[in-house]
Structure 1
Amino acid sequence: MEKILLVEDSKNIITVLKLCLKNAGYQVKVVCNGVDAVKAAFDWKPDLILLDIKLPKMNGFLVCETLRGDEIMADTPILMLSAKAEEEDIKKASELGADDYLIKPIEPKGLLKKVKEYL
């Protein structure tokens, strides 16, 4: 079973995305801040990371940069999730090594399509 690390601090979004992913057959681990995201990524070694940008303790950009700087996590797909649709944020995510940038709200079918594409 493929493992997905969901890094999100909104309880409503967590509920919807976790249910969607679990129903599609994925094992899901949820963390709600950037510091825990880095720790969980190294400890749990997910097959894919769904990463919000606006997070407590450490933002998603810094999490992405930290993970991409380590050879263990360098090839793990990272899909950024954000309500921020500014070109500047999308470009920054790409420069830091994110594989894709998904704008919230995202439909579950669209999310699953992207997840399958990167797995």
Structure 2
Amino acid sequence: MSRILLVEDSKNIIRVLKICLQGAGYEVEVVSNGIDAVDMAFQWKPDLILLDIKLPKMNGFLVCETLKEDELIKEIPIIMLSAKAEEEDIKRAYELGAQDYIIKPVEPKKLLNKIESYLKGGERNE
């Protein structure tokens, strides 16, 4: 069973995505701030990370940058989830090493297709 780390601070989005991901057969851990995201990524070593940008304590850009700088976990695919649709935010996410960027609200079927693609070693869809 593939393991997904969901980094999100909105309880409603957590609830919906957790149901969606678990229903698709994934093991899911949830953290709601950037510092816990980094700690959990190192401890749990997920197969994929879904990462919000606007987070307490440490934003998603810094989390992504921190994780991609570490040799042990830099290969874990990161999909950014954000309501921020500005081109500079999307560009920055890719520059920091994110594999994909999905603008909220998230369509569960589209998200599951992207997750499956990355878990099978798929390429980035810009």
Q: Could you state the TM-score of these two structures normalised by the residue count of structure 2? A: 0.94
The residue that corresponds to 1:32 in the other structure is 32
The aligned runs of 1:51-62 (5 Å cut-off) are: 51-62=51-62
Q: What residue is the counterpart of 1:19 in the other structure? A: 19
The runs of 5 or more residues in structure 1 that have no matched partner are none
Aligned length: 119
Which residues in structure 2 correspond to 1:28-107 (within 5 Å)? 28-107=28-107
**TM-score relative to the length of structure 1:** 0.99
Q: After TM superposition, where is structure 1 displaced by more than 4 Å over at least 4 residues in a row? A: none
Whole-Å separation in 2 of the counterparts to 1:97 and 1:65? 7
Residue segments in structure 2 that go unaligned for 5+ positions in a row: 120-126
Residue 53 of structure 1 and its aligned partner are, at CA, apart by 0.1
Query: RMSD of aligned C-alpha atoms?
Result: 0.4
Corresponding residue SS for 1:29 = strand
Q: Which residue of 1 aligns with 2:124?
A: none
